Every structure is written in C-alpha cells, then in structure tokens.
Chain A
C-alpha cells in the first residue's frame, strides 16, 4: 500500500486533473478574449478549496507541501495559465506570512486565506527591479505605523483582499506590512491591460494614511529586502511549474496537429523538420520541469533554493516562448490564428520573462550565486 502522503497526493492530482479538464480548460479561450475570469469561476475554485492547498491544516487549509503544490499549478496550467498564476500570487503571499508573520497576525489573517485571495506588492512607478527606488512609506506615529503610497502591477491587484506591501521605513530601509482592503485609507487604482495571462487581474492599490499596528509588520523593521527576495524565490518555483504546464499544452497541440496533418502527401510526423521542433519543445518542457521540481524539493527539505528557483523561471520562461513559437510554426497559418490557443500561450509565457524579476535579473542572481561558491 502507498504511504498516506503519497495516496493523498495522488488523489489530489486526480481531482485537480478532473477539475481542470471539466471546469478550467473549457474557459481558456474565453478568458483570454474577455481579459477576465468568467462570472462564478473564482467562486467555484474557492468553494472547491483550491485557495487552501498549501495553507497549514491548523488554519483551515489542506497543508500540502511545496512539491505537490507546484505540481498542482503545473497541472492547472495545462488548462489555463491565468488560473495557475492567480493561485501562485496567493500562495507566495501566504508563504511570507507563514515565514515572517507574528503568531497573532497568522491567527487573525490566515484562516480567511481559504476564502480571500492574498497578494504581494513590490513594484511602483519607479520600476520593479529597483526596490530602493520606491517612494511608499511607513512612518511611526505613537504606537502605530502610517502607510502612504501607490503600488502598481500587482498580480491579483484589485481581486485580492489582503496585500503585503513593500515600503520604506527610512531612506535606505525597506520593510513589509500587511494591509487589508477594509482598512480606512485603502483604495484600488488602475487595472493593467496586459497582452498575456489576461484572466489574472494585475492592478494598483493606493494607501492614503492607512494605520496599522506592529503585528502587521512582517519580520523586523528593515527586513523588506529579505522578505521581497523570499517572495520572489517562492514565486519563481511556482512559475517554473506554470511554464511547464504551458509547454505541456503546447506540446499536445503540436503533436495532435502533426499526427493529423499532411504536407502534400507526407504526414508531418514523417518530416525531420517536425521531429526537430517537437523534440525541442519536449526537451524544453522536461528541463523546466526538472528545474522547478528540484527547487521545490530543496525548499521542502529546508535547503537553500534561491538559485534553483531563479533557474526554473529564467530557463522556463524563454523555453515556453520558444516552444510556443515552434508550435505556431508547426500549425503555420492556424497557429497564427486567434481561433487557436497557440498565440495566447506565447503571450502568457512572455509575461513570465518579466514578472517576479526579469530574466536578466535571474541570470545576474544565478551568476552571483556561482561566483560565491
């Protein structure tokens, strides 16, 4: 008999595959066209318990570990990447509250994470790759902190109800606080009109004199850089999983089409040029899968995983764009048509060459880690 853990994970993935096939995949094209999740889509996802997959059982979640959580997003992304990325943004935020939140904050907030979406926000108008350039602030007034500023391009911005926000607590000091949409002074701003991952809302929040107590500070004052890096690391593993799912979708489209289509009298499956492209797509998919799984294994084992997480995203994002390009070329005119999903898979994958740190920053992080060995 398999272990209880293995049996539970098998049952979970069976349910996820069933749910993805019946509830998520059929909405993929419509979601891209509408630029939003369909009505009732997130309510059913929430009701079915997806928001609590990695939340510890003591807070009402299922308590699955990093490896199976990443695999779940991999499987969901086979049907639709936006759904997987919305969950990625939620999970990475929960992870930071678990790592750096006080017990009181965890007890207050985390039970609601099975029903409310959480988000982590770093970027401001000054850019996403320059944390010290932000202008949002938290100032000490009496026993409280007062938060002011605008945060933009937040994954799940406008949809999430709880936000971890990176602010300055001194000119060269970054800290992270947790704010709730119900707090006085909180408001939503502009929603971005991005070309990919169009189901996932990406938007702005405005903090106008939001007052929070010390329990809403993650870690210590000045830990902002550390917590931001941690959030990036956790997100990058999950993005590697999402990118693997996109490539599995691309590979299926490419092979299904090649098995049916002829060029003249020659089946596409008999052409070396098709072999080359299909093999490259499969190689890119499999290498990304190994990278994200390796990073997730290290995380589960309590080992450092920052470099491996950066590798999963740096390799996976370009790989998925290239795999999409090869898929498009196999389908030729049909691949270039909006009637088929290939073009939107390329746009979806392209987002992850930028989000959670550009691929250029990933390479810099990988190189630095290698120099330090």
Chain B
C-alpha cells in the first residue's frame, strides 16, 4: 500500500507581508517550517505504516529548493521518500494551479492508494488544494476527517464532526483525505532518524519532468485575483431581545420575521 502525504512549507512567522503589486502573500526571505497541520497527516500515514508491513509513505511538496527541509523533516519522522516539485514556471500559483501540478505529479508517481492532506495551510488558510487534487484525479474525497481507518482491502472509513452530529463516510481507494489537527499528536523526529533521513531518496521534478499544460501553470494559470487584502470592519447589528416565556419569545420571533416578510 502506498500513501502519499502532500505537505507545504510555510513562513515561520505570523508577520507575513502582502506583495503590493500582486496582493499575494510575500514569502520571500522568510525562514520556513513545515505547515503544522500537515504533521497530523504524516502522523496518520506513519500510524498506518506502524500497523502493517506493506505500507510505504511518500511525501510530496511544491516550492523552491529549500522546501526540501520540510521533506527531510517528514522523512525524519519516518516517511520513506520525498518528492519536490520545483520550477520557476510553478511560481505564483493559486490553489487551482497548485492542485493541477500536484495532481500531475501524483499521476506520475502512479500507484498511490491513499493521498493525505493536512486540514489547511496556516499561511493562506484555504484548505482547497486537497479537494482540487481529488477532482483532478477523479477520486473520492473526504475532508476534515477526525478519524480514519482501513476498513477493508480497498476502502477507508472516516468520521467527520459536523455541527451537532458525526458523519461516517466510506470511500473506495484510491481516495484523497484531508485530516483535522485533533486527529492525533504528531511524533517528534528522533536525532538518529534525522541523520538517517539524509540517506532516503528525495526526487526533484522540474517542469520538463511532468506532463503539463503550460496555460494552467503559475500566475498565468491562476484564476484567483487578489484585488485587496484588508481586515473587515466589524458590523454593528441592532439586537431585539425576546422576552417572557419560551412561548412568548417564539411568538415575538414569528411576528418579527413576518414583519420583515421573511416568512
């Protein structure tokens, strides 16, 4: 069984600046660390690896050369190999263009049974790349899994926490799953495994190594246009208290909704 965990390197600081021209996050010159939520996805993959003899765990990321540091960290946690997708042509990609390149790389890797993502990256907070990759690959997807187990030879069962209930989903493999951070506590890379991780294979794929449609790459292939980044002003709303017994309060609510022609 092959599990591929897609990870991202994010700025170490919360003080990320906005590029004044593109209005995108300006990550240049910032020290990077692995997106903390991605460690939950790696931990899940490693837990599955610990429970069976036939599980191989690969890590995949897209970014500049120094993103290899996060791949090494994941390999020091216990992953078997890493793939870095790195090319100037990929720069400036939004979630769609990023998802496209990752999906094409996953097609080249070829035999992934389970593709895992953290719930979102802490820099842009979209949580979109996992679902986009699933759509490109035409694979079933489960988002924000709170638990996940291999429930058959070719399926996974995951639990999602909804507002007031739990939802259990079964997906045929191969499938794409993003996981919640409450799922587990990621293990630390041990000093010995840090050393040994540098002997594990790390494959770097550039533009020409993948089967790509250039119109879908980078900034040009990104339909997202950031026109302005701002913190919205809090809206002050008028509050009408409902008073009396629950029955009185319900009557007042119905009257108010009728008066506004909402019911």
Q: Which residues of A contact B (CB under 8 A)?
A: 1, 4, 7-8, 10-12, 14-15, 18-19, 48-50, 52-53, 57, 60-64, 114
CA distance A1 to B67 in the complex (A): 11
**Given contacts A8-B195, A8-B197, could you give 13 more A-B pairs where the C-beta distance is less than 8 Å?**
A1-B68, A7-B72, A7-B198, A8-B194, A11-B197, A14-B33, A15-B188, A53-B191, A57-B192, A57-B195, A60-B192, A61-B191, A62-B192
**B38 contact set on A, CB distance < 8 A:** none
**B72: nearest residue on chain A (CB-CB)?**
A11
Known A-B contacts A4-B198, A7-B72; the reply to A49 vs B65 at CB < 8 A is no
Distance (Å) between the CB of B69 and the closest chain A CB? 7
Q: Which residues of B contact A (CB under 8 A)?
A: 33, 65, 68-69, 72-73, 76, 188-195, 197-198
A49 touches B33 (CB 8 A): no
Listed by A's residue number, 28 A-B pairs whose Cβ atoms lie within 8 Å are: A1-B65, A1-B68, A4-B198, A7-B198, A8-B195, A8-B198, A10-B69, A11-B72, A11-B73, A11-B76, A11-B189, A11-B194, A12-B191, A12-B194, A49-B191, A49-B192, A50-B191, A52-B191, A52-B192, A53-B191, A57-B192, A57-B195, A60-B192, A62-B190, A62-B191, A62-B192, A63-B192, A64-B195
CA distance A239 to B27 in the complex (A): 39
Distance (Å) between the CB of A164 and the closest chain B CB? 23
CA distance A61 to B69 in the complex (A): 22
A48 touches B69 (CB 8 A): no
**B33: nearest residue on chain A (CB-CB)?**
A14
A63 touches B193 (CB 8 A): no
Distance (Å) between the CB of A90 and the closest chain B CB? 14
CA distance A115 to B69 in the complex (A): 28
B188 touches A19 (CB 8 A): yes
**A18: nearest residue on chain B (CB-CB)?**
B188
**B187: nearest residue on chain A (CB-CB)?**
A48
Distance (Å) between the CB of B85 and the closest chain A CB? 17
**B70: nearest residue on chain A (CB-CB)?**
A11
CA distance A50 to B191 in the complex (A): 7
**B198 contact set on A, CB distance < 8 A:** 4, 7-8
A63 touches B195 (CB 8 A): yes
CA distance A61 to B189 in the complex (A): 14
**B188 contact set on A, CB distance < 8 A:** 15, 18-19, 48
Distance (Å) between the CB of A69 and the closest chain B CB? 10
CA distance A306 to B195 in the complex (A): 29
CA distance A18 to B188 in the complex (A): 9
**B193 contact set on A, CB distance < 8 A:** 49
**B72 contact set on A, CB distance < 8 A:** 7, 11
